[in-house]
Structure 1
Amino acid sequence: MKNTFEELKIAKSILKSLDDIGFKVPTPIQQKAIPKINSGGNLVGIAQTGTGKTAAYLLPLLTRLQKPEGNDPRVVILVPTRELAIQVGEDIAELTTYSELRHAAVFGGIGWTKHAELVEPGIDIIVATPGRLWDLYQEGVLRLKKVKHLVIDEADRMLDMGFMPQLKQLQEIIPARRQNLLFSATFSPAIEKLAEEFLDFYDKLEVAPSATTVSQVTQTAYKVPNYRTKLNLIRYLLEDEEKFTRVVIFVKTKEHAEGVFKVIQRKAEGEKRILHSNKAQNTRINAIQAFKSGDVRILITTDVSARGMDVSMVSHVINFDLPRDYDDYVHRIGRTARAGNKGDAITLIDPADEWHWKNILKLIRKDIELLPLPEEVEVLETEFGENQDQLREIDRQRKIDDPTFQGAFHQKKRKGSNKRSFDDKFSRSKERQKRKKRRKL
């Protein structure tokens, strides 16, 4: 096993940048992946976020490119979100401080002409979301005939977001003779199918079992009866400013994001920001940058908006809502305990979440400590509407486990299902009317 970047044969200009950044020792994924990438073969790397997987493919690729050449990119890195595109672009900028290699990060949400200006002078590496790469190709401002290396990063999220058609389109226009590198936090059947479609022969590298959580994260959970009590618990926890120094709160909807924000806006110290799909792109990017710099203490976000957020000093991740895609739990808590630091992940579980929580524990193969609610947290009564929603969800879960289960909300048979037909009732009614007439006569 190679224990230094020098032993991994990283270019001297890149080594100098690593020294400036303060990266001294390669992570396990880097130790295992870099020699395989250097060999030129195809690779599927399974690693959680926060393990150094981005540098695991960037370091050998930057080394192999050596210097600028021509105008067309030789490396294409596909990512699922604009935030991740920006992050990988920043990583490349840091690593190429002493190199003349040219790069650009392009993504949707802004006019393609701005990105056309970035690529027209010539680039060696392009980081892109699939849709924006296709835009630039279709407009004729980007040629892909010189591509030698294709990276698909966060492939599991790529599939979750429905990018498979775009990936297939791009496969048709990128030269067949290329090195393919696919990275994912999990190796689901869908990822295996994607690998088989894009990579004829490949080595699979798994630094930890699929869906394993980062070991430096301390995971705990609370059982909480309802939404309003969750808000009370969040407010109580965030009062401890010394412990909860930089916090990411995950919610399932923008409505919950706004609700959490309103509750902690005045009660919790420090700047707070929200990330969700209704927020403009610049607002989201600025919020992440402010969070990274430490100007923002609390970030409230949905899963999609948080992808690509690389912040090394997150003290806590709080799952206000459980994700319905269980792999997202692994991604979420990977926002803390990055770059060798420690962190805490706290999950709030309401009655409708308990079934999902058991499935998450099966996935990550861990038991997580359930903590009692602090005495200072006011436990409120569950409102009627929320209670009905919880019961319906619990019914749905039980039906999945037992298809014969009827439940409280199953469609009941109408009373009197054995009643006479309409024709029968009509004829009897006419008989009654005739009898009445005879009596009157």
Structure 2
Amino acid sequence: MSARASARSRALRPARRQPTSPARSDKTPALASRRPHRRGSTLTTTFRELGILPETAEALEAVGITTAFPIQEMTLPVALSGADVIGQAKTGTGKTLGFGLPLLERVTVPADVEAGRAEPDDLTDAPQALVVVPTRELCTQVTNDLLTAGKVRNVRVLAIYGGRAYEPQVEALKKGVDVVVGTPGRLLDLAGQKKLNLKHVRCLVLDEADEMLDLGFLPDVEKIINMLPVRRQTMLFSATMPGAVIGLARRYMSQPTHISATAPDDAGKTVANTKQFIYRAHNMDKPEMVARILQAEGRGLVMVFCRTKRTAADLADQLKQRGFASGAVHGDLGQGAREQALRAFRNGKVDVLVCTDVAARGIDVEGVTHVINYQSPEEEKTYLHRIGRTGRAGAKGIAITLVDWDDIPRWQLINKALDLGFNDPPETYSTSPHLFTDLGI
């Protein structure tokens, strides 16, 4: 076993095999010394400079990704060395590749044997890396990102989540997978039925750990962790760090490096690229207000958030009647219907997606210019995740919140918690001149 382990570490860390190579050994200290000064700067460090495998860099370049975001630039040098990492970053800052690229390097595939980085004995059909996520939407997003980055090396990535038939997932596991991305319930089910073998996992990632806590998944997550080999790399990512998440990290991580990626000009809880507007609105006038906002100059894809499934379904219908290409995503829809609506939104067939908070996390769609909170969210975390759907990955975005008269006290608590400076939203109607000037309608 030790011979295999040493072969594996040689295969996965070519840098250590060639300490005399000036290219790699000079780069790391330079990066480390440069990092604090560059956190909010324009993106200049390429993934190749950060020392990822050339095949992975090639796969990213094929889809136009060459330079790293701050969370990626800070995480990669630490994570590629095999150390445990706690990453704290706002939603939409690019953390999927921050953990995804090191995770892909932990996996041995036939391409590595061909390149002379690994021995044939290192190959296995059991999963070598596991990503645990709270929602189905996030599961598909992370899976797609990993498939893109692992394409040239032909890394096999499988999404495992509930609301879908077991058979295709079991069939795929039988054929062999390198990376599994899954939600806690279905992962436990398949592991319990001995259909999912976790004995070969070398790298574990817990993504959106605070959301797993909110959804009550932490006990399931702990059961899954206890099925994994003790010797492994663990990475935990979370937008906020509640006590239970810190406790989880203390129990299951070994001397983790804590990385918090915020730019100096972006010290607030919300992303600086997102412009926020808050209006006190009347419930009866809200559909008309949304229709006006959808006529704003330069608007691309729009996500509208409602608190209840019924409101989401009603509003989507009203917008359709007004001639807008709108779809809905909420808990009453089956998984198939939810995925269909999301696919239509990604492809631009539908450019307005009305959803409940089931969709607030894990939907990462390029080109969302506006987020509209049709109803005030329950709490500040929900607000952050909703508006985090726009202004992603360096793009600019606009977030508009319509607050009912009776929701003002709830809004004021959110405003105070996030220190937004919108304590008393202006009374606004679909005919108010300031609505038109604010939003360029």
Same fold (TM over 0.5): yes
- The counterpart of 1:341, out of the listed 383, 386, 395, is 395
Counterparts of 1:235-250 in structure 2, within 5 Å, are: 235-238=291-294, 240=295, 242-250=297-305
Shift in Å, 1:128: 0.6
Aligned partner letter, 1:252: R
Residue number in structure 1 paired with 2:16: none
Q: 1:214 aligns to what SS in structure 2?
A: coil
Matched, 1:285 2:342: no
Whichever of the two has the greater Rg, that structure is 1
Matched, 1:104 2:161: no
- The counterpart of 2:79, out of the listed 19, 25, 37, is 37
Aligned Cα root-mean-square deviation (Å): 2.1
Question: How far apart, CA to CA, are the structure 2 residues paired with 1:371 and 1:264?
Answer: 25
Question: How far apart, CA to CA, are the structure 2 residues paired with 1:246 and 1:174?
Answer: 41
Matched, 1:212 2:266: no
Question: How far apart, CA to CA, are the structure 2 residues paired with 1:198 and 1:260?
Answer: 45
Aligned partner letter, 1:324: E
- The counterpart of 1:81, out of the listed 103, 114, 135, is 135
Aligned partner letter, 1:173: M
Aligned partner letter, 2:269: T
Matched, 1:141 2:195: yes
Shift in Å, 1:285: 0.6
Matched, 1:158 2:212: yes
Aligned partner letter, 2:306: V
Q: 1:123 aligns to what SS in structure 2?
A: coil
Shift in Å, 1:377: 6.0
Counterparts of 1:44-55 in structure 2, within 5 Å, are: 44-55=86-97
Q: 1:191 aligns to what SS in structure 2?
A: helix
Q: For residues 139 and 292 of structure 1, do their structure 2 counterparts lie closer, same or farther at Cα, with a shift above 3 Å needed?
A: same
> Which moves more between the two structures, 47-56 or 352-361?
352-361
Question: How far apart, CA to CA, are the structure 1 residues paired with 2:240 and 2:409?
Answer: 21
Shift in Å, 1:283: 0.8
Indicate conservation of the 8 Å contact 1:112/1:135, yes or no.
no
Aligned partner letter, 2:299: F
The number of equivalent residue pairs is 375
Q: 2:185 aligns to what SS in structure 1?
A: helix
Residue number in structure 1 paired with 2:378: 324
Shift in Å, 1:307: 2.5
> Which moves more between the two structures, 63-72 or 169-178?
63-72
Q: 1:294 aligns to what SS in structure 2?
A: coil
- The counterpart of 2:105, out of the listed 40, 43, 63, is 63
State the identity as a percent. Answer: 36
Residue number in structure 2 paired with 1:15: 57
Shift in Å, 1:54: 0.2
Question: How far apart, CA to CA, are the structure 1 residues paired with 2:70 and 2:419?
Answer: 21
Question: How far apart, CA to CA, are the structure 2 residues paired with 1:90 and 1:344?
Answer: 26
Indicate conservation of the 8 Å contact 2:106/2:129, yes or no.
no
Indicate conservation of the 8 Å contact 1:46/1:210, yes or no.
no
Indicate conservation of the 8 Å contact 1:48/1:211, yes or no.
no
Q: 2:236 aligns to what SS in structure 1?
A: strand
* Structure 1 alignment gaps of length 5 or more: 379-441
Matched, 1:6 2:48: yes
Shift in Å, 1:13: 0.6
Question: How far apart, CA to CA, are the structure 1 residues paired with 2:267 and 2:234?
Answer: 20
Matched, 1:174 2:216: no
Question: How far apart, CA to CA, are the structure 2 residues paired with 1:253 and 1:67?
Answer: 45
TM-score between the two structures when normalised by the length of structure 1: 0.81
Aligned partner letter, 1:237: I
Shift in Å, 1:148: 1.1
Deviations 1:65-107 (A, max 9, x none): 2525211111100011111111111111111221122221111
Counterparts of 1:381-396 in structure 2, within 5 Å, are: none
* Structure 2 alignment gaps of length 5 or more: 1-30, 36-44, 111-122, 434-441
Residue number in structure 1 paired with 2:412: 358
Indicate conservation of the 8 Å contact 2:90/2:271, yes or no.
yes
Question: How far apart, CA to CA, are the structure 2 residues paired with 1:276 and 1:375?
Answer: 26
Question: How far apart, CA to CA, are the structure 2 residues paired with 1:65 and 1:144?
Answer: 14
Aligned partner letter, 1:277: G
TM-score between the two structures when normalised by the length of structure 2: 0.81
Question: How far apart, CA to CA, are the structure 2 residues paired with 1:48 and 1:167?
Answer: 22
Residue number in structure 1 paired with 2:439: none
Residue number in structure 2 paired with 1:258: 313
Q: 1:120 aligns to what SS in structure 2?
A: helix
Question: How far apart, CA to CA, are the structure 2 residues paired with 1:157 and 1:356?
Answer: 21
Counterparts of 1:415-430 in structure 2, within 5 Å, are: none
Q: For residues 313 and 307 of structure 1, do their structure 2 counterparts lie closer, same or farther at Cα, with a shift above 3 Å needed?
A: same
Indicate conservation of the 8 Å contact 1:219/1:368, yes or no.
no
Deviations 1:384-408 (A, max 9, x none): xxxxxxxxxxxxxxxxxxxxxxxxx
Shift in Å, 1:210: 8.9
- The counterpart of 2:288, out of the listed 227, 232, 237, is 232
Question: How far apart, CA to CA, are the structure 2 residues paired with 1:65 and 1:340?
Answer: 30
Indicate conservation of the 8 Å contact 2:128/2:179, yes or no.
yes
Deviations 1:24-78 (A, max 9, x none): 2100000101111112221111111211000101112213325252111111000
Question: How far apart, CA to CA, are the structure 2 residues paired with 1:255 and 1:102?
Answer: 39
Q: 1:248 aligns to what SS in structure 2?
A: strand
Indicate conservation of the 8 Å contact 2:106/2:203, yes or no.
no
Indicate conservation of the 8 Å contact 2:380/2:418, yes or no.
no
Q: For residues 153 and 119 of structure 1, do their structure 2 counterparts lie closer, same or farther at Cα, with a shift above 3 Å needed?
A: same
Question: How far apart, CA to CA, are the structure 2 residues paired with 1:180 and 1:120?
Answer: 25
Shift in Å, 1:168: 1.8
Aligned partner letter, 1:219: Q
Q: For residues 375 and 242 of structure 1, do their structure 2 counterparts lie closer, same or farther at Cα, with a shift above 3 Å needed?
A: closer
Residue number in structure 1 paired with 2:438: none
Shift in Å, 1:241: 5.8
Deviations 1:303-348 (A, max 9, x none): 1134211111001000111221321111111101122211100011
Indicate conservation of the 8 Å contact 1:236/1:377, yes or no.
no
> Which moves more between the two structures, 306-315 or 187-196?
187-196
Shift in Å, 1:275: 0.6
Deviations 1:357-387 (A, max 9, x none): 2222233333249455256269xxxxxxxxx
